[in-house]
Structure 1
Amino acid sequence: MVNPLFISLCIILAILFGRMTNVDIMMYESKLLAQASDIIERGNFSYYYIYSAGPLILNLTSLLGDADLYISDTNMYPTYDADSYKLHSATCGQDIIEIPESFEYPLAVGIYGHAEYSVFTLEIWDVPNYEYKNKYWLLVTKDAPTNIDETTRNEDTNKKTNNKPISKKKKAKSTSSTASSIFSLLEVIQLIFL
């Protein structure tokens, strides 16, 4: 009979090896286009807006604490509510998301802090083996776009500013946050068993 401790050790090593392999491949085949670092307090969002042409890879590394990544091309203030973002990554540690070519720009990137203080680095990479029609160009800003239709903004646009706590009304929405929590739990389970 195989020792359960040995099986657990093998699973942990497989997960760590898989993460190192994926990160190494991305780092060697891609070009770093931009990088931003910041500190965010618990329960707050920090927003970045990306202007580019073509697909991208976003790599969020939590240096201290834990930060999660929420991305939308229609909502300028994505949160952890499932209907406010199109892509997200809520893992402990490194969060990597590939933005498809079909996304419209500007791209809103919401970074949520879980720990008392989360120190993070957001790196933006090109996609390997993608033939960009134009030269690489990228603009990253913390200022929200002003020429976006009002229908694409959150209903809380006037209430919400950068790095402010989410209102209690947002926290009261348990149905969509429960769905988001379930997806996050499934991501963790996937990391463990795949």
Structure 2
Amino acid sequence: MAARWGPALLLLLLLSAHAASTRPEDDDVPAEWQLLHEVQGQVGAGNYSYLRLSQAGRVVLRMHSLRGDADLYVSDSTLQPSFDDYALQSATCGPDAVAVPAHFRRPVGIGVYGHPSHRESEFVMRVYLDPAGPDLPGQGAHAPDGGGRAEEPAAEEESVLWTVLISVLKLVLEILF
């Protein structure tokens, strides 16, 4: 009986270690970035929570889903951006980040979407001012239709693959146990 649980416990320990290593920390934030605000919230499956950004300058939004999968949509033309109407977005299975250019009209609308794969998503978003950052349209975020889109580094692709793999393994464990 113990031999049957051994691989599952080892997998659980590996998942826990990976989750602890992927938590958002201030260690990887450039020294010149200034933390303006930290927002914690919850959003139900298929629903949005909306925030407004009035801070001038280049602002970086970094969001981590503590539970579930929250996605980030940003617009300077509507205060209620969605997956159908946005200027910038980050919709990954892991940490999400968007760099809001200084030239965006304020207030900027921020939509946090709760992915339907989870009943509820809990998130933490840190808002940073980047006084030294470039101000190019689409810089550091995903623009619709690929316009002005910055390419993701290879390390980020590897991180996304790990996140997907971990999510699949968690689902398998939930089904088995």
Q: TM-score, normalization: structure 1?
A: 0.54
Higher RCO (C-alpha under 8 Å, 6+ residues apart): 1
2:87 maps to a residue whose letter is K
Q: Pick closer, same or farther for the CA change 1:192–1:25 going to 2, 3 Å.
A: closer
Distance in structure 1 (CA, Å) of the matches to 2:60 and 2:37: 11
Note the C-alpha offset of 1:28. 3.8
2:108 maps to a residue whose letter is L
Once the two structures are superposed, residues 72-111 of structure 1 have per-residue CA deviations (whole angstroms, 9 ceiling, x without a partner) of 0101211111xx1000000112111111111010010000
Select 1:125's aligned residue among 128, 136, 146.
128
Note the C-alpha offset of 1:128. 4.7
* Aligned equivalent of 2:92: 91
Identity between Structure 1 and Structure 2 (%): 35
Select 1:67's aligned residue among 66, 70, 76.
70
The alignment partner of 1:52 has SS state of: coil
Note the C-alpha offset of 1:69. 0.2
- Gaps spanning 5+ residues in structure 1: where? 1-18, 131-178, 181-185
Distance in structure 2 (CA, Å) of the matches to 1:49 and 1:36: 12
**Number of positions where the alignment pairs a residue of Structure 1 with one of Structure 2:** 121
2:123 maps to a residue whose letter is F
Distance in structure 2 (CA, Å) of the matches to 1:101 and 1:31: 15
Note the C-alpha offset of 1:193. 9.4
Q: 1:47 and 2:50 equivalent?
A: yes
The alignment partner of 2:29 has SS state of: helix
Once the two structures are superposed, residues 15-47 of structure 1 have per-residue CA deviations (whole angstroms, 9 ceiling, x without a partner) of xxxx89x97432544221011111111000000
Q: TM-score, normalization: structure 2?
A: 0.59
